[in-house]
Amino acid sequence: MKKYILLLGTVLSLGLSSCSDDWMGDVVPTDRIDANEAFNTVKDGRNAVNGVFSLMQSEDYYGANYIVYGDLKGIDVRSSDINKRDNEMYRYNETTEAGNSEMWTSPYEALVSVNNAIANLDKLVAESDAEELQKLEIEANFYALRALNHFDLLRIFARIPASLSGDASNELGVVLADHVITKDESPVRADLATSYKLVIDDLKKAMELMPASASTEGWLNADAVKALLARVYLFNGDNQLAYDMAKEVIDSGDYALVAHGDYKKSWEASFNNPEAIFTLINTEEDNPSREGIGYLWNESGYNTMVITNSFTDILFANDKDERSEAMFADVVKDDDGNVTSTNYLSLKYPDQTTNKLHLIRLSEMYFIAAEAIYKVSASNAAVAASLINTVVEQRTGVADVLVASDIDIDRILLEKRKEFIGEGQTFFDLMRNKKDVVRTGDDHLNIAPMFIGYDDFKTIQPIPRIELNVNENIQQNPDYAE
């Protein structure tokens, strides 16, 4: 069972209760301790950070939905049956009334806790030099988490700046929770440019604060903040900055790609993954249980998603590519024992409940750097090829597969699909690069669209009705019902 550990007294959550008449919703107490008593020591601060990470492990956030979304909306993963959960994602069938409202409320719930913590940081008393460093690590993580929660909201509920033809200041972003918002406030959505500026500024602030020695397991450290900033820069169209930041992480030497032969077992919770830059850790006591992504993929669980035939053909075309080993063949037989079909499932979440969620891996830095430097100039194709070859060689044992003439955006994205199948990246990669969702193969369900244009209004989510009802100033996304 999920257990939230928040020691900031009461947490005001945005629109979490339909019976509330206020935009900030009802007061949801997670701990009855008064904030003045509960946030005084460095230990209290560490508990508060852990509480936010615990919230982000929920099935409505990284525990399932924020990863599942990026796969089911794309081209390489489909629903396993017509009546499976999350079909709305796969079918692009979300509406204002029945959309993924928790994908809106969950990051804001975390943001309320983050902002309460930032507002009370001066109460933390450090009693040693070691605690002074811990206090800085705590503060840095809160700013990084504020950036990450906003960025995740932007990915789901707003356009990607890099995909726009016009000025991002003319597009809707999200409501910016950059302070302790009271129930009397009814804020509007900031524009997209301002929204991304907040994310970038908070990450820069986190970089300034983060001690080089920061190493708390499951938290963001200096490399993780830089890696996240590289991702944000890429989404924002700041390609040279994205390349520079990704290369800084690569060149730090703090992480290494998983050794050839270890890829499959690198997903097991007991494996010390050398390329995991930022990981959310589920434990026996703290996990989303049967609502989490492990249970969704597992053949003995809900088994809600399968990898498409068209993608398995791509991956199995190279018998040296060990990434195919991170797929499980679920053989379906009829009553007479005859094989009727084989469905491939992801083994990146091998446990039904207690998986490590590797949200940023070193291999992503290679792909960010490759995409970014190629976008700076196509004349950098050889550099991009070299970056991708580093990953491909580690996964296949074969060096120098790609040369400059092989490289364009489509090839970069194809190679990235092989690396990040099941990790919720493909849909956003397509949208960022103005690529339509074109589903091929004969196994996609006939209830789902086979084509969605990158500029289709359904590629971003509607603001849920529960939010519109409590804040009349919230603007709905275009073409959705008010």
E-only strand ranges, 327-385: 327-333, 339-346, 356-361
Termini Cα distance of the chain: 36
CATH code of the domain made up of 10-294+354-470: 1.25.40.390
> In this structure, what token pair is assigned to residue 308?
């498409």
pLDDT band at 198 (very low <50, low <70, confident <90, very high): very high
Q: What is the pLDDT of residue 164?
A: 97
β-sheet bridge partners, residue 328 = 345
Given CA atoms 108, 111, 113, 119 in this order, what sign does their dihedral have? negative
The arithmetic mean of pLDDT across residues 461-477, rounded, is 93
> What average pLDDT does the chain have?
91
Distances (CA, A) of 67 to 33, 72, 86, 163, 421: 34, 9, 12, 21, 11
CA distance 21 to 434: 40
Per residue in 18-57, pLDDT (tens digit) is 333 443 333 333 333 344 557 899 999 999 999 999 999 9
Please say whether the beta carbons of 275 and 258 come within 8 A.
Answer: yes
Question: pLDDT tens-digit profile of 431-453?
Answer: 999 999 999 988 999 999 999 99
H-helix or E-strand containing 92?
none
Give the Å distances, CA to CA, from 254 to 118, 242, 275, 377.
29, 19, 9, 29
Task: Say yes or no to pLDDT of 13 above 80.
Answer: no
Please give the DSSP secondary-structure letter assigned to residue 323: G
Q: Where are the domains of the chain?
A: 10-294+354-470, 295-346
Q: Looking at the predicted structure, is the pLDDT value of residue 318 above 90?
A: yes
